[in-house]
Structure 1
Amino acid sequence: MSGPSPDAPTIGVDIGGTKVSAGVVAHDGTILDRARQVTPHRSTAPSVVEDAIVAVIAELMQRRPDGEAPVAGVGIGAAGFVSADGSTVVFAPHLSWRDEPLRASVSERVRLPIIVENDANAALWAEHRLGAARSTSHAVMITLGTGIGGGLLVDGSLIRGRYGIAGEFGHMQVVPAGLRCECGNRGCWEQYSSGNALVREARSLVTAQSPMASDLLARVGGDPAQLTGPMITGAAKAGEPTSVELLAEIGTWLGVGMANLAAAFDPEVFVVGGGVSAAGDLLLDPAREAFARHLTGRGYRPQADLVVAELGADAGMIGAALLARDGAAAQPGAGS
């Protein structure tokens, strides 16, 4: 039996809190085609997100040119706890999935080999293979979006843990009895350093009619509900002082959390991705300062680099596709 062609592309699917993005990805990481579906935030029906996944895969498959190599498989990066065998999304704090058999459900509908991976693990794999972590075997990925995702690379391998849930750094408690998190606990890291935290703090200032927020209020026509992370980041890049201050606060908490992770895992590099990372040094400079200030043994140990993901918002998609390629290559008869 012959396996997939070495040049066969795979499809990578990246599931966020509000959208499903997908792409046909070549063996070298080049994205050949893209599709996207918007999904309701925290939909009560898991089938809604599943339908969106199937729709983007079908759209990409329908657009494949005649004569091109067939797609070898699909990798799905899910924002949640993925079981160790890659079959089930056990829990997704920002979606309604609970013990969702995603691999079987999607495979049955698209008739292609499917792998399911945590989205931050997928992003880290892409950065390790092709991006900011390609020169190291020990790295931590932090994805700042709706919440915080995380991935861990040790000796060149993804560390998933016994039950597949390693790397959920966003749900480390950093403030005892702190803000309530969607996971059910209080004081989780992502409540202080994430896109949600950034927007929450901006809206709080606007709602309180703080003079500091007058420019932000004007930008959204007086409606705090219109404040978004990208808008705040854009305002900060334009020099709006309150937005700069808000991003610096998010960055400071980011650095505190990474110092804790350095004490646990001692990586060579932290790669920061996700939508909030678009703020660049407005986020990372405060993070670097806080990291250096809180690092255990500071001054007497090598210090990890803090860098922005080179593949940007595409890292999760590309990584999922690369993992699907690895899975397809491991099938019986592959490459023969």
Structure 2
Amino acid sequence: MQTDGLTVGVDLGGTKIAAGVVDPKGEILSRVRVVTPHDPSLIARAIASAVEQVRQGWDGVRAVGVGAAGYVDRQRSTVRFAPNLGWQDEPLREIVERATKLPVVVENDANAAAWGEFVYGAGADHEDMVMVTVGTGLGGGIITGGQLFRGRFGMGGEIGHYRAVPDGLPCGCGQHGCIEQYASGAAHTRRAREAAATDPGRAAALLALGDGSPDGIHGRHVTEAAMAGDPLALELFEETGRWVGQALADLASILDPAVFVIGGGLGETGELIARPAEASYRKALGGGDHRVYADVVTATVGQEVGLIGAANLARYR
């Protein structure tokens, strides 16, 4: 059922809860941001409180969409598992509906971001889109035939956890060799720190931007150094882009989308990540010149795309 008027979108993360009243054009009319409680039993109530705060003065609010970092069931109701939040089988929809007296839709946060980019951003002119969010981890969402693909049990699109390297690096999901351990912001930073520990002279620019130690190097320092032309930083972007491109090629072999949208923190670096990712994708895709290559672009909606996407999904509960 489509809901006209205003909806509230919520972006739930391990450290913050962002909520906003969103109109049908994707404009955020009011917003609040609160700290995510450390106690998992208090998080759902904190979400409901944020919704109540942000909707004050907006009588036209009709529904709430919550984007949560975790596995959400097919009914878009229960968060089955969210390790960063300490949740197992959390009945999030029921709790927030009871507190706000509004209909609620719960969705995986990366799916919500993909939907926001599909409706309002870089995927708006395509019916088939894959968004890959290259943040601390590697997430994403799949749009096919203009619909969000969720899978039979609601947990499709977990892009970061296919095993790209058998018996590779350990992953927080319990497996080894997940692509997230190679094509993510955390992997990008790890490689920078390893390079600095191995050859501090070559990493002088990165070390100077941090606190002088390898552990003081963060992703933003690699970006800043790369924008200034530092050779090591540019090599690090080439390496991370190669892994992202490999992920795109693997996904294209299965899904054959019209466009890949790179989002997340590294997506905000624009061509620094998009150029090597696209080159790697074209090289790795089987079939070569016999294939039609998808466009590879970076996200355009901005950091609040998950909130905006969740709000829009609430219109079609």
Which interval holds the TM-score relative to the shorter structure?
Answer: over 0.9
Number of equivalent positions: 317
Tell me which residue corresponds to 1:266: 256
Deviates more, 1:12-21 or 1:161-170: 12-21
Indicate which of 95, 100, 118 corresponds to 2:108: 118
Indicate which of 46, 53, 58 corresponds to 2:47: 53
Residue 217, structure 1, aligned to residue 224, structure 2: no
Tell me which residue corresponds to 1:330: none
Secondary structure in 2 matching 1:312 = coil
- Distance in 2 (alpha carbons) for counterparts of 1:20 and 1:211: 41
After superposition, what is the alpha-carbon deviation per residue over 1:168-208, rounded to whole angstroms, capped at 9, x for unaligned?
Answer: 01001001111111100001111111111122222333444
Rate the CA distance shift 1:117–1:4 in 2: closer, same or farther, 3 A. Answer: closer
Kept after mapping to 1: 8 A contact 2:8/2:55? no
Tell me which residue corresponds to 1:188: 178
Rate the CA distance shift 1:322–1:223 in 2: closer, same or farther, 3 A. Answer: same
Tell me which residue corresponds to 1:143: 133
Rate the CA distance shift 1:129–1:176 in 2: closer, same or farther, 3 A. Answer: same
Deviation at 1:224, TM superposition (A): 4.3
Deviation at 1:228, TM superposition (A): 2.9
Rate the CA distance shift 1:18–1:232 in 2: closer, same or farther, 3 A. Answer: farther
- Distance in 2 (alpha carbons) for counterparts of 1:244 and 1:173: 27
Tell me which residue corresponds to 2:75: 85
Tell me which residue corresponds to 1:331: none
Kept after mapping to 2: 8 A contact 1:273/1:309? yes
Tell me which residue corresponds to 1:322: 312
Tell me which residue corresponds to 1:11: 8
Secondary structure in 1 matching 2:125 = coil
Q: How does 1:19-58 map to 2 (within 5 A)?
A: 19-39=16-36, 45-58=39-52
Q: How does 1:284-303 map to 2 (within 5 A)?
A: 284-303=274-293
After superposition, what is the alpha-carbon deviation per residue over 1:262-315, rounded to whole angstroms, capped at 9, x for unaligned?
Answer: 000111111111122111111011101110011011100111011111212222
Secondary structure in 2 matching 1:299 = helix
Q: TM-score, normalised by structure 2?
A: 0.92
Deviates more, 1:95-104 or 1:80-89: 95-104
Kept after mapping to 2: 8 A contact 1:230/1:276? no
Kept after mapping to 2: 8 A contact 1:73/1:112? yes
After superposition, what is the alpha-carbon deviation per residue over 1:15-57, rounded to whole angstroms, capped at 9, x for unaligned?
Answer: 23433222211111111122223447xx5x3235435423432
Deviation at 1:261, TM superposition (A): 0.5
Residue identity opposite 1:18 in structure 2: T
Indicate which of 201, 223, 240 corresponds to 1:233: 223
- Distance in 1 (alpha carbons) for counterparts of 2:46 and 2:199: 39
**Aligned Cα root-mean-square deviation (Å):** 2.1
Kept after mapping to 2: 8 A contact 1:181/1:191? yes
- Distance in 1 (alpha carbons) for counterparts of 2:272 and 2:51: 36
Secondary structure in 1 matching 2:288 = coil
Tell me which residue corresponds to 1:304: 294
Deviation at 1:326, TM superposition (A): 2.0
Residue identity opposite 2:40 in structure 1: P
Secondary structure in 1 matching 2:246 = helix
Q: TM-score, normalised by structure 1?
A: 0.87
- Distance in 2 (alpha carbons) for counterparts of 1:39 and 1:207: 34
Question: Which structure 1 residue ranges, 5 or more long, are not aligned?
Answer: 328-336
